């Protein structure tokens, strides 16, 4: 550990499940980088749907408090653990924790080196922090699981959301015909991002307007998942990020339905970074909030009125 690294740091934590009032920013020890890990001074870290779910219920008890929230981050390497040769002190990096690990809503985080990738110079730290979870979820839904090909018709449910707006842009980049479904508030933005059809789930007849599609990426869940099965051509694929699709209904329709639990892939994140750095793709950051006011970020997210990512900036 370098001299400049303190022994304690602020971290956004919960001691019990509940609403935003459960989020406290308190001093905890700075972790040490273990074997294969680097210590990152966090510059910015985003709020994801999973952080809200963990704060509310720990994903039905999978996580237990006390814990430090946060899955993805952007920052600078300040120390190397043993057996790390892929990074050097001073490198700008970003990435995301694996499914079971948390703790990036803090001033420092010890991360396995393979959960990080270098941040291109063209990418601001706030954008770099916003993209790992939602960018990889969009990419993997479309390509790893959804097997999207150029010329396919793909429909994105929740297209104006954090995952959805990236899925729209990746699918346009791939050369698919992209149908973006969300509320009226998102329509102009989705057209600007290149969607070929933009539908309002509240007022449009989505099945009639969409026709049969090869792939649905569902970022909404609930009744939207069931309705999505009906939009698929025979042999089509539904990839949902929220909940479990009805496999009997999928079999009756002759389609494939899968739930995705996205993962860190440094090569895929580097590919996404290239698109961001080139300006081919943009990530919408709605607002930034100082880490010391992490509770306010949760309050903002719970209003449901913030379109785009909320990013915590390390103000310590
Ligand atoms: N499984 C994974 O690996 C993974 C990874 C990342 C995220 N997720 C999950 O994916 C979900 C979406 O995340 P996000 O960050 O993209 O959320 P978000 O930013 O809140 O986006 C959701 C979007 O869906 C829209 N919407 C609501 N009801 C709709 C409907 N009936 N039809 C079409 N669109 C509708 C919302 O519009 P309004 O604002 O008008 O309501 C909003 O624009 C969350 O539950 C998150 O936890 C899962």
Contacts of 6 (CB under 8 A, 6+ apart): 30
Ranges for all domains in the chain classified under CATH 3.40.50.720: 134-259
The residue nearest atom 43 of ligand 1, judged by CA position, is 161
- Tokens 């051509």 appear where? 233
Answer yes or no: is pLDDT of 162 > 50.
yes
At 97-123, the pLDDT tens digits run 986 889 999 999 999 999 999 999 999
Q: How far apart are the first and last CA of the chain?
A: 19
Answer yes or no: is pLDDT of 190 > 90.
yes
| Strand pairing report for 92-96 and 72-80 | antiparallel
Distance 27 CA to ligand 1 centre (A): 32
- Architecture per CATH, 134-259: 3-Layer(aba) Sandwich (3.40)
The residue nearest atom 48 of ligand 1, judged by CA position, is 241
Helix (H, G, I), strand (E, B) or coil at 131: coil
Answer yes or no: is pLDDT of 250 > 90.
yes
Distance 156 CA to ligand 1 centre (A): 10
At 142-161, the pLDDT tens digits run 999 999 999 999 999 999 99
H/E run at residue 18: none
Task: Give the position, in ligand 1's atom list, of the atom nearest the Cα of 186.
Answer: 43
Residues forming a β-bridge with 179: 155, 197
Check pocket membership of 219 for ligand 1, CB cut-off 6 A: yes
Mean pLDDT estimate for the chain: 96
The residue nearest atom 21 of ligand 1, judged by CA position, is 161
Q: CA-CA distance, 269 to 208, in Å (whole number)?
A: 36
Q: Please compute the mean of the pLDDT values over residues 17-21 and round it to a whole number.
A: 98
Check pocket membership of 146 for ligand 1, CB cut-off 6 A: no
Task: Say how many residues make up the chain.
Answer: 316
Check pocket membership of 240 for ligand 1, CB cut-off 6 A: no
Query: In Å, how far are 95, 138, 199, 200 from 186, measured between CA atoms?
Result: 27, 18, 10, 9
Closest of 41, 39, 35 to residue 1, by C-alpha: 39
CATH number of this structure's domain 8-131+283-313, picked from the four choices 3.30.360.10, 3.40.630.30, 3.40.50.150, 3.90.180.10: 3.90.180.10
Q: Which two tokens stand for residue 84?
A: 């790390």
Q: CA-CA distance, 79 to 2, in Å (whole number)?
A: 6
Q: CA-CA distance, 74 to 4, in Å (whole number)?
A: 19
Write down the pLDDT at residue 3. Answer: 55
Task: Give the position, in ligand 1's atom list, of the atom nearest the Cα of 222.
Answer: 31
3-state secondary structure 20-62: HHHEEEEEEECCCCCCCEEEEEEEEEEECHHHHHHHHHHHHHC
Ranges for all domains in the chain classified under CATH 3.90.180.10: 8-131+283-313
Q: Which two tokens stand for residue 273?
A: 């970074």
The residue nearest atom 5 of ligand 1, judged by CA position, is 137
Check pocket membership of 160 for ligand 1, CB cut-off 6 A: yes
Distance 198 CA to ligand 1 centre (A): 16
Give φ, ψ of 289 to 5 degrees: -135, 135
Q: Please compute the mean of the pLDDT values over residues 247-276 and round it to a whole number.
A: 97
pTM for the model = 0.97
Check pocket membership of 49 for ligand 1, CB cut-off 6 A: yes
Check pocket membership of 46 for ligand 1, CB cut-off 6 A: no
């Amino acid at each position: 550990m370098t001299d400049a690294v303190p022994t304690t740091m602020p971290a956004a934590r919960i001691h019990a499940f509940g609403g935003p009032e459960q989020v406290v920013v308190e001093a905890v020890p700075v972790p040490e980088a273990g074997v294969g890990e680097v210590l990152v001074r966090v510059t910015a870290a985003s709020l994801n749907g999973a952080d809200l779910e963990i704060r509310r219920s720990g994903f039905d008890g999978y996580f237990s408090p006390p814990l430090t929230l946060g899955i993805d981050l952007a920052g600078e390497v300040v120390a190397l653990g043993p057996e790390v040769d892929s990074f050097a002190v001073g490198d700008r990096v970003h990435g995301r924790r694996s499914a079971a690990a948390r703790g990036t809503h803090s001033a420092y985080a010890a991360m396995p080196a393979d959960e990080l990738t270098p941040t291109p110079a063209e990418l601001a730290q706030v954008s770099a922090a916003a993209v790992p979870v939602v960018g990889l979820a969009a990419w993997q839904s479309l390509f790893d699981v959804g097997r999207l090909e150029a010329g396919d018709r793909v429909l994105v449910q929740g297209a104006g959301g954090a995952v959805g707006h990236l899925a729209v842009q990746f699918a346009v980049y791939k050369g698919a015909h992209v149908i973006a479904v969300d509320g009226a508030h998102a329509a102009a933005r989705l057209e600007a991002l290149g969607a070929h059809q933009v539908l309002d789930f509240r007022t449009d007849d989505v099945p009639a307007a969409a026709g049969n599609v090869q792939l649905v990426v569902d970022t909404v869940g609930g009744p939207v998942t069931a309705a999505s099965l009906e939009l698929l051509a025979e042999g089509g694929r539904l990839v949902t990020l929220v909940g479990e699709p009805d496999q009997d209904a999928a079999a009756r329709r002759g389609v494939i339905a899968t739930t995705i639990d996205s993962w860190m892939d440094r090569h895929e994140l580097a590919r996404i970074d290239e698109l961001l750095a080139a300006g081919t793709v943009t990530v919408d950051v709605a607002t930034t909030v100082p880490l010391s006011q992490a509770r306010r970020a949760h309050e903002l997210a719970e209003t449901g009125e913030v379109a785009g990512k909320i990013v915590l900036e390390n103000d310590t």
